[in-house]
Structure 1
Amino acid sequence: MNIWLAAALAAIVSLSAQAATKVTPRVERVTFEKGADAVEFNQSIQGPLTAQYRVSAKAGQILTVDLKPSNTSAYFNITAKGADYALFNGSIMGNHFMGPLPADGEYTVQVYLMRNAARRNEVANYNLSLNLSPADASDSTRPFDQTLELQGIRFHVTTEGIDDHRVLRISPQGLETDNSDFTRPLTGNVVRAEVADLDRDGSPELYVFARSPGRGLPGELVAYSANRKKSLSEIYLPPVSEDVEAAEGYQGEDEFAVVENVLVRRFPVYESADAGAGRTGKMREVRYRLMAGEAGWVLRRGEVIVY
């Protein structure tokens, strides 16, 4: 009898200890000052503590989230209120998100440490930036100007207006054979550029992402590979319309990101491709790997995820 009583008391003490050590997340409601669409937080978390940033938004608004942590085990997730799945999982997809929100409501950006780091009671200092833009935010005439560098090759990426048309200019530096500028006409506006080495061959690629305002307009990718650091050649991305699985319910509004060694394309899923179809509230993610094709570099479709 004493043994059973002792076991019961031990269980009660254990449960009490677990309850006592459960950490309530730090919650902040995100508000934007009048005339501003961006806000930054410079904060920290430790161990099991998580930080939640709650944003109210409308369907179609563009949410951009960037996390710069001091600890590589720190990530963020994005979840819609009442949803039983994450709209974005940072531990899989990286520390950058930009995309249209599928429905009206409240969205939570949660910053956390991976379980092993949390158990070791590690600390993560971080800068978190949130930007919430109207659905037509990409309809901007502001020029894009950014310089990126990887593996000794530099890319100066700019946009300019020529004869009332928007043009993308890429100026490479450091290539052994040809550092000529490349120009490309654009239908949308450049929102971001990234350098990566998706095929891990020691030579970088440049990925430039553009968006066009409005429903039914696809995102735009301009990409080049530095062939053995000698010259640039274009990377081909097949259109979604050529892929039956990916194209179901597709009506544009894409956003792109480089996540580890794949290119990720995300877009909201509509009930059909008809102009009057409504959103399903889900997002589709298509992952591509860089491969050498017969006539050049190609992004081959891999996994397709709906969430």
Structure 2
Amino acid sequence: MNFWLGAILLTVIFTSAQAATEVAPRVEQVPFDKGTDSARFNESIKGRLTAQYRTTAKAGQILTVDLKTSNTSVYFNISAKGADAALFNGSIMGNHFMGPLPVDGEYTVQVYLMRNAARRNEVANYSLSMNLSPSSDSAQPFDQTLELQGIRFQVKGEWVDGNPVVRISPQGLEIDNSAISRPLTGNIARAEVADLDQDGSPEIYVFARSPGRGMPGELVAYAANRKKSLSEIYLPPVSENAKWAEGYQGEDEFAVVENALVRRFPVYESADAGAGRTGKMRQVRYRLEAGEAGWVLKGDEGVEY
């Protein structure tokens, strides 16, 4: 499937909730009160039925959501009440979310079947877990281990002198398995392992986000050079491309899609602080290439929808 088809399919994440206009969603309130900070639901949906789990939270709290199901067409989205765009889109970002919430208010976790499965009236049993920490300072640190092609990466979030840091510890490299620490301005949302250039050696991609308008998303990425040692991967800022930078005000999301890194963000009327959103999203695709001094993510496609 080529990228343009992929881009079209990605728009389904915004229209999948249209099923709610055809079949009323099943709505459950998740209070997270009386000292309870986690909840689990073992339920099912069928066809165009969606399930919505609503909770009230404050800015800065860390929400963790995990979805397990045997049906590969089941995903979840997370949205804030009154927001123009989803905070998280499961159909491109997977079935795990962990990140800070940007504003005070009501948040909805919506579980749904993709349109093709809904039309076939498929049934999906699933287990959904939600955790809401009191604040980012007291949240459980991000700690995940990923493996590909015999190389293992432990990605761990830490606090150093009151500032967030990501620590990447590789295992299985032939020469250097030293841990690497990098400072962050936001909190780790998730990590992915991939082989974008298909050279037989993996890369590790760590995505971090800061709540609030004007805050760019962060990418920390390293490539395993012929499975011997790690080299940093450079991602050019959006400002290097004048066309892509029009109306850019941060709020980036990243995902690995079809051997490429995809960056998407809301488009504003201008770069001015008081500008409003246009209602469109811009998506840029990057390919991993060897540069003169290391690895570079080179943008080769940009679309709006």
TM beyond 0.5:
yes
Deviations 1:89-146 (A, max 9, x none): 75566545689889x9986725115536853x65432233567899xx7677864333
Shift of 1:267: 2.6
Contact 2:213–2:249 under 8 Å retained in 1 = yes
The TM-score with structure 1 as length reference comes to 0.70
Q: Distance in 1 between matches of 2:89 and 2:184?
A: 31
Shift of 1:242: 1.2
Contact 1:214–1:253 under 8 Å retained in 2 = yes
Q: Distance in 1 between matches of 2:90 and 2:140?
A: 30
Of 125-134 and 246-255, the range deviating more from structure 2: 125-134
Match of 1:298 in 2: 296
* Residues 304 and 128 of structure 1, relative CA distance in 2, 3 Å threshold: farther
Contact 1:139–1:212 under 8 Å retained in 2 = no
Deviations 1:134-191 (A, max 9, x none): 9xx7677864333222222111223444455543322111111211122223233323
Q: Which amino acid aligns with 1:156?
A: Q
Q: Distance in 1 between matches of 2:270 and 2:255?
A: 25
Match of 1:8 in 2: none
Helix, strand or coil at the partner of 2:271: coil
Helix, strand or coil at the partner of 1:233: strand
Q: Which amino acid aligns with 2:221?
A: A
Q: Which has more radius of gyration?
A: 1
Match of 2:204 in 1: 206
Of 226-235 and 195-204, the range deviating more from structure 2: 195-204
* Residues 265 and 39 of structure 1, relative CA distance in 2, 3 Å threshold: farther
Contact 1:139–1:189 under 8 Å retained in 2 = no
* Residues 187 and 114 of structure 1, relative CA distance in 2, 3 Å threshold: closer
Q: Distance in 1 between matches of 2:96 and 2:218?
A: 18
Shift of 1:77: 5.9
* Residues 252 and 178 of structure 1, relative CA distance in 2, 3 Å threshold: same
Match of 1:112 in 2: 113
Q: Do residues 33 (structure 1) and 32 (structure 2) align?
A: yes
Of 125-134 and 257-266, the range deviating more from structure 2: 125-134
* Residues 284 and 224 of structure 1, relative CA distance in 2, 3 Å threshold: same
Helix, strand or coil at the partner of 2:244: helix
Match of 2:143 in 1: 145
Shift of 1:45: 3.1
Which of 282, 285, 290 matches 2:283? 285
* Residues 253 and 49 of structure 1, relative CA distance in 2, 3 Å threshold: closer
**What number of residue pairs does the alignment pair up?**
281
* Residues 161 and 267 of structure 1, relative CA distance in 2, 3 Å threshold: same
The TM-score with structure 2 as length reference comes to 0.70
Q: Distance in 2 between matches of 1:257 and 1:203?
A: 19
Q: Distance in 2 between matches of 1:220 and 1:79?
A: 21
Contact 1:50–1:111 under 8 Å retained in 2 = yes
Q: Distance in 1 between matches of 2:133 and 2:283?
A: 21
Match of 1:167 in 2: 165
Match of 1:42 in 2: 42
Match of 2:52 in 1: 53
Contact 2:32–2:132 under 8 Å retained in 1 = no
Contact 1:248–1:272 under 8 Å retained in 2 = yes
Contact 1:151–1:203 under 8 Å retained in 2 = yes
Q: Distance in 2 between matches of 1:190 and 1:106?
A: 20
Q: Distance in 1 between matches of 2:32 and 2:249?
A: 32
Which of 240, 243, 258 matches 2:241? 243
Contact 1:202–1:228 under 8 Å retained in 2 = yes
* Residues 88 and 274 of structure 1, relative CA distance in 2, 3 Å threshold: same
Q: Distance in 1 between matches of 2:282 and 2:98?
A: 14
* Residues 144 and 262 of structure 1, relative CA distance in 2, 3 Å threshold: same
Identical positions, percent: 68
| Unmatched tracts of structure 1, length 5 or more | 1-22
* Residues 82 and 33 of structure 1, relative CA distance in 2, 3 Å threshold: closer
Q: Do residues 229 (structure 1) and 227 (structure 2) align?
A: yes
| Unmatched tracts of structure 2, length 5 or more | 1-21
Match of 1:72 in 2: 72
Helix, strand or coil at the partner of 1:200: coil
Helix, strand or coil at the partner of 2:144: strand
* Residues 94 and 165 of structure 1, relative CA distance in 2, 3 Å threshold: closer
Deviations 1:229-255 (A, max 9, x none): 221111111111112222222222223
Shift of 1:55: 4.4
Contact 2:288–2:296 under 8 Å retained in 1 = yes
* Residues 86 and 208 of structure 1, relative CA distance in 2, 3 Å threshold: closer
Q: Distance in 1 between matches of 2:246 and 2:296?
A: 22
Shift of 1:64: 6.9
Q: Distance in 2 between matches of 1:63 and 1:284?
A: 25
